[in-house]
């Protein structure tokens, strides 16, 4: 088993320098730090975590506060966690997942007061998130994966939801779609102030309005059954819809199932685009989902790197960064079966809805089933 002396010889530095790299007790140049870390990796050196903590007065533990319910976490959420975990391990820290939400403030106060965590990452951030105030009062360095309504003075990384939604709407409009429905998270989630649900709702409304189109948003619980119900509701309100944009991975599979049950094919009758989705989830569907792919792993990594700068240097330099999702076109999006008519051209609209067309017959049957 390699020792600290072995690492020092391999890196051609003193034992005390290796110790400073491990404990952060003194500043070390990045070049020297890289040499020491490389030597540790080559020798598979495993430092004693307890000894390091005692020497540096740090636990070397970061907390990832991620509220969870009985559904657990999906593949897309897991990417945030794995990105954060990899960055923490590379820096010699442990990342501990704790399911603390806005309703668990007493538990969070106990955790913060015990000084177990060197720093904390917050996920599932609400526009008004009291966890931020609790951690601030306790003096725990904090970085948000998400944003509050007023993030001044807070370090955060987040998805650029406005650019993401606009890119998704532009993709569908560019294909010729004019009747597009957005399936969001649940009405309760929106009412509670969940940032992504509110930001995407507002961006969808703005993007559709700028194209001269009427926005329609349907809230849905995170379940397949709710996805089926959301699609039924969408068809009742917009029988001629040709495209669905969804940011609800659990619901989107129910939505696809309901389309199939009604005899509607994807993408010939209805195109489907899933937002903030991992490639693994997108490939589970048939056809594979066109998706705005989540930058979850990158955001998790950047969040930990930002947090460690706060922990190790103690400076108050704020880092705020947005990354958009990237459009990946697969099999679930395509042009509508009949060319979309301009919303200002009544004659074209009449022609498109003529009962003699195959699309109109399908929609008429759908209306009867709805």
Contacts of 57 (CB under 8 A, 6+ apart): none
What is the spatial distance between Cα 34 and Cα 296, in angstroms, rounded to a whole number?
26
Domain residue limits, the chain: 4-56, 61-159+296-324, 161-292+327-369
Tokens 């051209």 identify what position? 345
Note the residue count of the chain: 370
The β-bridge relationship of strands 326-328 and 216-219 is unpaired
Per-residue pLDDT for the chain (370 aa), expressed as one digit of tens each?
788 888 999 999 998 888 778 766 677 888 898 898 899 888 888 765 545 554 456 778 999 999 886 666 778 889 999 999 999 999 989 999 999 989 999 999 998 888 889 999 999 999 999 999 999 999 999 999 999 999 999 999 999 999 999 999 999 999 999 999 999 999 999 999 999 999 999 999 999 999 999 999 999 999 999 999 999 999 999 999 999 999 998 899 999 999 999 999 999 999 999 999 999 999 999 999 999 999 999 999 999 999 999 998 776 689 999 999 999 999 999 999 865 443 434 343 343 333 333 444 454 454 444 4
The token duo for 331 is: 């099999």
User: What's the pTM value of the predicted model, to 2 decimals?
Assistant: 0.77
Angle at 214 between CA 211 and CA 216, to 5 degrees: 125
Contacts of 123 (CB under 8 A, 6+ apart): 64, 65, 66, 67, 77, 80, 145, 146
What is the spatial distance between Cα 180 and Cα 90, in angstroms, rounded to a whole number?
44
Helix (H) and strand (E) counts for the chain? Answer: 16, 12
The token duo for 128 is: 């008004």
- Looking from the CA of 294 toward its CB, the CA atoms found within 13 Å total 29
Note the pLDDT of residue 352: 38
The second-level CATH assignment, the architecture, of 61-159+296-324 is: 3-Layer(aba) Sandwich (3.40)
Note the pLDDT of residue 296: 95
The second-level CATH assignment, the architecture, of 4-56 is: Orthogonal Bundle (1.10)
Of 4, 117, 18, 113, nearest to 58 by C-alpha is 117
What is the spatial distance between Cα 219 and Cα 182, in angstroms, rounded to a whole number?
8
Same fold: 61-159+296-324 with 161-292+327-369: yes
Contacts of 357 (CB under 8 A, 6+ apart): 338
The token duo for 343 is: 């919303």
Q: Does the domain at residues 161-292+327-369 carry the CATH identifier 3.30.465.10?
A: no
Contacts of 99 (CB under 8 A, 6+ apart): 65, 66, 67, 68
Q: Quick one: CA torsion of 118, 126, 220, 248, rounded to 10 degrees?
A: -50
């Amino acid at each position: 088993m390699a020792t600290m002396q072995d690492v020092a010889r391999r890196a051609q530095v003193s034992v005390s320098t290796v110790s400073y790299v491990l404990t952060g007790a003194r500043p070390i140049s990045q070049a020297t730090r890289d040499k020491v870390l490389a030597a540790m990796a080559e020798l598979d050196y495993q430092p004693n975590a307890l000894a390091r903590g005692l020497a540096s007065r740090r636990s070397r533990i970061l907390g990832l506060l991620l509220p969870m319910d009985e559904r657990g976490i999906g593949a897309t959420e897991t990417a945030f966690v794995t990105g954060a975990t990899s960055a923490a391990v590379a820096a010699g820290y442990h990342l501990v997942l704790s399911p603390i939400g806005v309703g668990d403030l007493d538990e969070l106060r106990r955790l913060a007061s015990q000084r177990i965590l060197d720093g904390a990452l917050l996920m599932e951030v609400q526009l008004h998130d009291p966890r931020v105030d609790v951690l601030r009062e306790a003096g725990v360095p904090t970085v948000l994966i998400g944003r509050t309504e007023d993030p001044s003075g807070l370090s955060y990384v987040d998805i650029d939801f406005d650019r993401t939604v606009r890119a998704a709407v532009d993709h569908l409009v560019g294909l010729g779609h004019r009747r597009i429905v957005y399936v969001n998270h649940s009405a309760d989630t929106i009412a509670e102030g969940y940032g992504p649900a509110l930001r995407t709702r507002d961006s969808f409304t703005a993007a559709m309005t700028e194209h001269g189109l009427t926005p329609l948003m349907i809230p849905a619980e995170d379940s397949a059954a709710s996805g089926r119900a959301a699609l039924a509701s969408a068809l009742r309100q917009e029988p001629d819809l040709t495209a669905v944009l969804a940011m609800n991975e659990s619901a989107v599979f129910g939505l696809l199932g309901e389309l199939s049950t009604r005899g509607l094919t994807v993408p010939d009758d209805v195109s489907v685009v899933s937002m903030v989705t991992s490639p693994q989830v997108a490939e589970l569907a048939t056809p594979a989902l066109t998706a705005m792919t989540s930058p979850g792993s990158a955001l998790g990594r950047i969040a930990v790197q930002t947090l460690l700068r706060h922990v190790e240097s103690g400076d108050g330099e704020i880092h705020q960064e947005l990354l958009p999702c990237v459009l990946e076109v697969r099999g679930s999006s395509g042009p509508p079966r009949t060319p979309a008519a301009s919303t200002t051209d009544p004659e074209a609209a009449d022609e498109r809805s003529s009962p003699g067309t195959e699309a109109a017959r399908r929609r008429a049957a759908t209306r009867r089933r709805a």
